Copies of this chain bind each other. A is one copy, B any other.
Amino acid sequence: MQIEQMETPSVAIDLDILDANLKRTAELAAKAGVKLRPHIKTHKSVWIARKQIEYGATGITTAKLGEAEVMADGGIHDILIAFPLIGANKLKRLAKLIERGVRVTVSVDSMEAARGISDVGHAAGMRIPLYLDVNTGLNRCGLEPGLPSAELALQISALPGVDVNGLMTHAGHSYGCGDAEGARKVAFAEAEALIATQQILRDKGLDVPEISVGSTPTSKFTEQLSGVTEMRPGAYVFGDGSQLYPGFIDETECAMRIYATVVSSPRPGTLIVDAGSKTLTNDVSVHRKGYGYLPDYPEIFVERLSEEHGILAVPNNCSLKIGDVVSIIPNHCCTVVNLRDELAGVRDGKLDHWMKVDARGLIT
């Protein structure tokens, strides 16, 4: 079936572009001499995670225990859960996951989080590897680099059931950089912050071997950095507007397209398509107004979204009419996937197979 003949709104993944993206980033990591531990929150698919491993990834990153559990079911056995696991329920599930023989690393940024995990490790007669999450500018989790993070790492290293195995950061703020040069600067700054912290710890007698950096925009500069041992890009698999608009990638690297049907032409200058926020999401980009980009109609602006309606601002001479199908590159691929049970895997514009979003809805 031609992709345009499928029920809309649909989310299509070009399998050749996906494959090229997976290979390119695996080669990037190999060339840089660093481990690749991609973040699977983007695709939530066991099949794609296995492909990533096949192409050289040493393990994966997840945001949630539920994602880790599903990936372990799918045969992935080296998993970083890049989120603090807090509370008795989460720690019980962590213990079970470890019992199954999965090598789980957990990121922490507090003694409270570390203590809970240490209790799990101690009860299991092992030391669970931890990454200390360090803030390098996203201002989300993580203490400041340098002394604050080093002091916390030293405190944690005294706990019996954990091992401070690495320092990590996620430079999500690189998406807000003006261009690739801006992303390069962020890549250098995040690496320097981690390595300086590592050096403080080394001086105090604690060797923390792994330096793990995240984010797709910065990943391209890993080869230029020294001291980094691992990278964790996620969104590179599909590409999206937030990578396209600032020029981090070009359209040939965008594997994801939303197909939507023009369903209404209520007044001059406006068309309505059947993809709203329940398909495109309300995620915005600092680099382009609106909620997506139509590669075949770059002059069209996705002005507003209701839940099921996309309101397009179109030039008065626009040739589109009710019933036409348009393709849209969404601003943010990760949140689009999260709304779907299945993605349409396409090749040469035809449906090849449906790809299950295995970890969709596993929110805890």
In chain B, what residue has the closest Cβ to A282? B282
Tell me if A's interface is mostly helix, strand, loop or mixed. Answer: loop
The A316-360 residues at the B interface (CB cut-off 8 A) are 321-323, 334-335, 338-341
B309 adjacent to A266 (CB under 8 Å) = no
User: Can you list 10 A-B contacts with CB-CB less than 8 angstroms, sorted by A residue number?
Assistant: A7-B90, A10-B364, A41-B308, A63-B307, A84-B263, A84-B272, A112-B322, A140-B306, A282-B284, A339-B361
In chain B, what residue has the closest Cβ to A67? B308
Q: Measured between C-beta atoms, what is the minimum distance from A3 to chain B in Å?
A: 13
B86 adjacent to A322 (CB under 8 Å) = yes
> Which of A50-58, A203-211, A217-225, A273-281 faces chain B?
A273-281
Q: How many residues of A contact B (CB 8 A)?
A: 61
- A110 contacts B by Cβ under 8 Å: yes
Which A residues contact B (CB, under 8 angstroms)?
5-10, 41, 63-64, 83-84, 86-87, 89-90, 109-110, 112-113, 135, 139-144, 172, 261-267, 270, 272, 274, 277-279, 281-284, 306-309, 311, 321-323, 334-335, 338-341, 361, 363-364
B277 adjacent to A335 (CB under 8 Å) = yes
Q: Say how many copies of this protein the assembly contains.
A: 2
Which single member of B141, B277, B322, B363 contacts A279 (CB below 8 Å)? B363
A282 adjacent to B279 (CB under 8 Å) = no
Which single member of B83, B135, B265, B361 contacts A340 (CB below 8 Å)? B361
